[in-house]
Structure 1
Amino acid sequence: MILLQNLYKDYQVNGKLVPALRGIDLSIEKGEIFGVIGHSGAGKSTLIRCINLLERPTSGSVVVDGVDLTALEDRKLQEQRRQIGMIFQHFNLLSSATVAENVAFPLKLAKRPKAEIERKVSELLSLVGLEGHRNKYPAQLSGGQKQRVGIARALANDPKVLLCDEATSALDPQITNSILALLRDINRKLGITIVLITHEMHVIRSICDGVGVIDGGRIVESGKVVDVFLKPQHPTTREFVEQVADSVELRETVAHEKSSGDRIIVRITFLGEQTYRPILFQTMMETGTSFNILQGTISRMKDTPYGQLVVELDGDAQQVNSTIEALRLRGLDVEVI
């Protein structure tokens, strides 16, 4: 659906060339919710604005639904942009227009018939849960309601792609969760491909199928959220994973246990339905190995349940190795830490 190939973007700042993107290669599937996570200044906002060519890349190509946007003249590009909706961190609503008028704005620009505009506005306000607010002005709305208006407006032209530029970072946690749930619902109902950028791993874990980690203008790690979250490879990725994991406490616990003697400590990862099965207990009973749970969590990544336990194993080397092998044979990922 979206293919970025060898994408570079440079800016001229005080006569000097400043690179923002450095050879980005990224592929996003149709109907996927894909997140790009990175620190401030990493290049994520530039990247998402290059997808609809609000920022024109210095070199490389941007292909959306089989069309190379970088090869289009202005008129053709404008037509293709209608297939790409965008919502913003600070909403960007027209303050002097009502909710209904804000949603209708892109439809009026496209010169749609009045009856069609009215029908579409009502349909979209129902979709985002704002049926009773159509005649209000942005100043009368909460932050979450303003973002819902922004989402409805972005969907007005029935786009195939929805870009979200830090869409929840100006909202409190409870409202953030409601907006994420709305985006997830829109993805399921409409089959629309969603690309969002964020600096919060919670957002990625909640709704994304895939993720790319950007650092210094480069994608340093990418893949399915489950794989990247549970087995982060790059230091930047591990730093973001710590936002939603007790990694600091874990390091302190492991250091304390190691200082107490020669211990075998493992991280056991459960995925899917195995998360809810007594696999650990059954295996330990069979091998006769004693164990002590140092830390554990059970949660979900979008639709996938997962669990992680940090366990101290007590027994001779052969017994412990047999236990680890038995756990792996039952489909668990076991890492000696």
Structure 2
Amino acid sequence: MIQLKGIQKQYGTGAAQVTALKHIDLTVNKGEIFGIIGHSGAGKSTLIRTINLLERPSAGQVLIDGVDMTALGTGRLQEERRTIGMIFQHFNLLTSDTVAENIAFPLRLAGQSKAQVAARVQELIGLVGLDGHGDKYPSQLSGGQKQRVGIARALATNPKVLLCDEATSALDPQTTQSILSLLLSINKELQITIVLITHEMQVIRSICDRVAVIDGGEIVEAGPVTDVFLKPQHPTTQEFVAQVEGNLNESLTVKNYAAGERTMIRITYIGEQTYEPVLFETMSGCNVPFVILQGTVSRLKETPYGQLVLELRGAEPEAIRAVELLRSRGLDVEVLRHG
């Protein structure tokens, strides 16, 4: 669906040149929600804006459904851009226009008739949950309502791709969740491909299928959210995961870890196994006492998962046998410490 090949972006020239993106290669599949997460200044805004060429890359190709956007002339590029909607962090609404007029704006630019515009606007107002607000002005709306207008406007021309540039960062947590739920329903109902950037791992965890982590203009880690979230490899990814999961190394330090014949392990459950008594059944059969030190049960989009940190009390051979039994039940078990 979307392919970024060898994307580079530099600003300035000579000694003043700054490299914002370095050799980016990414593929976004049709119909998925793909997240790009990074700190401020990491290059994520530049990256998402290369997809519709609001930022033209210094090198590389942007292909959407096989069409090389970087090779198009001005007229053809404008046509292709109509197939890409964009939602902005600060809404970018026309303050002197009503909700209905804001949504109608791209339809009028596309040359649709008044009847077509009116019908489409009413359809979109209902889709984003703004019934009864069509005649209001942006100043009369809450932040969440303004973003719903932005979403409706982005969907006006039936795009096949929806880009979200920090679409929830200006909203409170409750409103953020309602907007994420709306994006998820739009993705399911319209089968529209969504690419979003954020600095919040909670956003990625809530709705994304896959994620790329960007740091210093480079993709440092990428993959399915379940893999990246549950087994982060890069320090930047680990930092983002700690935003929502806490930091094991901080809460279970060597200082407060009891020494002796004790083994600390981390068990990861994914899917319906999360809700089954696998731990009880397995540990009952191997007669190794244990203490739960830390645990969580939650969801990654629609996939349930759980993580438990246990202290196994007993000699190392018994602890190893317990670990092997847990793994034989299909659990992911990592030995964190033995002492």
Is the TM value for this pair above 0.5?
Answer: yes
Contact 2:31 2:187 in 1 (8 A): yes
Aligned to 1:313: 312
Q: Helix, strand or coil: the match of 1:244?
A: helix
* Structure 2 CA distance for aligned equivalents of residues 312 and 260 of structure 1: 11
Q: Helix, strand or coil: the match of 1:211?
A: strand
Q: Helix, strand or coil: the match of 1:42?
A: coil
Deviation at 1:65, TM superposition (A): 1.4
Provide, for residues 218-244 of structure 1, a one-character-per-residue CA deviation record: whole Å limited to 9, x for no partner: 000000000000000000000000001
Aligned to 1:57: 57
Q: Helix, strand or coil: the match of 1:133?
A: coil
Q: Helix, strand or coil: the match of 1:243?
A: helix
Question: Any residues of structure 2 matched to 1:7-156 within 5 Å, and which?
Answer: 7-12=7-12, 16-156=16-156
Aligned to 2:5: 5
> Size of the alignment, in residue pairs?
336
* Structure 2 CA distance for aligned equivalents of residues 274 and 34 of structure 1: 26
Aligned to 1:224: 224
Aligned to 2:335: 336
Q: Helix, strand or coil: the match of 2:283?
A: helix
Deviates more, 1:15-24 or 1:143-152: 15-24
* Structure 1 CA distance for aligned equivalents of residues 319 and 172 of structure 2: 46
Aligned to 2:233: 233
* Structure 1 CA distance for aligned equivalents of residues 265 and 318 of structure 2: 14
Aligned to 1:286: 285
* Structure 2 CA distance for aligned equivalents of residues 145 and 165 of structure 1: 17
Letter in 1 for 2:212: G
Q: Report the aligned-residue RMSD.
A: 1.2
Provide, for residues 233-285 of structure 1, a one-character-per-residue CA deviation record: whole Å limited to 9, x for no partner: 0000000000010215x533242443544521000000001100111111111
Letter in 2 for 1:286: G
Letter in 2 for 1:302: K
* Structure 1 CA distance for aligned equivalents of residues 85 and 61 of structure 2: 19
Aligned to 1:243: 243
Contact 2:263 2:316 in 1 (8 A): no
Aligned to 2:196: 196
Letter in 1 for 2:330: G
Letter in 2 for 1:90: H
Letter in 2 for 1:134: G
Provide the identity percentage. Answer: 65
Q: Helix, strand or coil: the match of 2:12?
A: strand
* Structure 2 CA distance for aligned equivalents of residues 278 and 256 of structure 1: 32
Deviation at 1:316, TM superposition (A): 1.6
* Structure 1 CA distance for aligned equivalents of residues 205 and 212 of structure 2: 12
Deviates more, 1:23-32 or 1:315-324: 315-324
Aligned to 2:164: 164
Provide, for residues 161-203 of structure 1, a one-character-per-residue CA deviation record: whole Å limited to 9, x for no partner: 0000000000000000000000000000000000000000000
* Structure 2 CA distance for aligned equivalents of residues 135 and 295 of structure 1: 52
Provide, for residues 17-61 of structure 1, a one-character-per-residue CA deviation record: whole Å limited to 9, x for no partner: 100000000000000000000000000000000000000000000
* Structure 2 CA distance for aligned equivalents of residues 187 and 63 of structure 1: 21
Q: Helix, strand or coil: the match of 2:195?
A: strand
Deviation at 1:15, TM superposition (A): 6.2
Contact 1:93 1:150 in 2 (8 A): yes
* Structure 2 CA distance for aligned equivalents of residues 14 and 180 of structure 1: 42
Q: Helix, strand or coil: the match of 1:294?
A: strand
Contact 1:98 1:135 in 2 (8 A): yes
Deviation at 1:14, TM superposition (A): 9.1
Aligned to 2:209: 209
Asked whether 1:253 is paired with 2:252, we answer: yes
* Structure 1 CA distance for aligned equivalents of residues 88 and 317 of structure 2: 57
Letter in 2 for 1:308: Q
* Runs of at least 5 residues in structure 1 that lack an aligned partner in the other structure: none
Contact 1:257 1:263 in 2 (8 A): no
Letter in 2 for 1:247: N
Contact 2:261 2:315 in 1 (8 A): no
Aligned to 1:263: 262
* Runs of at least 5 residues in structure 2 that lack an aligned partner in the other structure: none
Aligned to 1:178: 178
Letter in 1 for 2:332: D
Deviation at 1:328, TM superposition (A): 0.6
Relative distance call for 1:184 and 1:262 in structure 2 (3 A) is same
